[in-house]
Structure 1
Amino acid sequence: MTTLNEAIKKGDVSNILIHSDQGNQFTSHEYTNYLQSNQMIKSMSRRGNCWDNAPIESFFGRLKEESVRIQKPRTIAQLYKTIEWYMNFYNNKRRQKGLGSKAPTQYQQSSAA
């Protein structure tokens, strides 16, 4: 809930997809009502299907290998800076074979045209 509150403070979160597993904290009425009242979209993995989380697990693996293990941040502030750098790199510069050797933002722009 703390993370969601911080996101809300930073700007408009309406229609943002929030994905989780089926843990009891994510299936509770309180959590579901909170998302609905802030116009967030709830998404959950299917019960017992580890493949639902494979894309994000793959991303976190790349984040660690391509930035955190190289830069070795020693403070939370350095970690945040490393993650911010990597998110920008990943979305705007890191070419991906599955996206026609384009970065995600380049691919999205070419797909929208």
Structure 2
Amino acid sequence: MLDLYDRRIVASLNSKYIDSKLAIDTLALALKKHSPKPGLLLHSDQGSQFASQEFTAYCKENAIVQSMSRAGCPYDNAAMERFYNTFKNEYICRYYFKTDEELNLGTQDYVFVWYNYTRPHSYNGGIPPSRVRFR
């Protein structure tokens, strides 16, 4: 999950399945770490995991407003897709992972050490997301 303000990844989990459980677990992790105010706007594509009854109910229970991309519109979710492209090119495609645990630990290191705190971002004028000050 990516914060559109500074392009910081606020939560990331891996799973063998892209389902509502993964979406809920990732959102729960983001909420636990960052405690946003009620009315948080959560943008996603129209994937079945985000449109599921379980996920939409979880959002309502936590005062989260869902916003979904229009069908077939790649621009609505461009920031997240850009992160995936960067993640795959800078990390996933460069290494071989023997175990799920190796992949999970490496992903957490890449995202929460390199990407958020060290890697320059053109969106932020060359500043890593963690160093962006409130505008």
1:92, 1:106 within 8 Å by CA — same for their partners in 2? yes
| TM-score of the two chains, using structure 2 as the length reference | 0.64
Q: In structure 2, list runs of 5 or more residues that go unmatched.
A: 1-19
Corresponding letter in the other structure for 1:65 = N
> Mapping of 1:2-81 within 5 angstroms?
2-3=21-22, 4-5=24-25, 7-8=27-28, 11=32, 15=38, 17-23=41-47, 26-27=50-51, 29-81=53-105
Higher mean alpha-carbon deviation, 42-51 vs 1-10, is at 1-10
1:67, 1:86 within 8 Å by CA — same for their partners in 2? yes
How many percent identity over aligned positions? 30
Q: In structure 1, list runs of 5 or more residues that go unmatched.
A: none
Q: Higher helix fraction: Structure 1 or Structure 2?
A: 1
Distance 1:29 1:61 in 2: 29
Of structures 1 and 2, the larger Rg is shown by 1
1:68, 1:82 within 8 Å by CA — same for their partners in 2? no
Would you say how many aligned residue pairs link Structure 1 and Structure 2?
A: 110
Distance 2:50 2:64 in 1: 13
Q: Give me the CA root mean square deviation.
A: 2.8
Matched residue, 1:94: 119
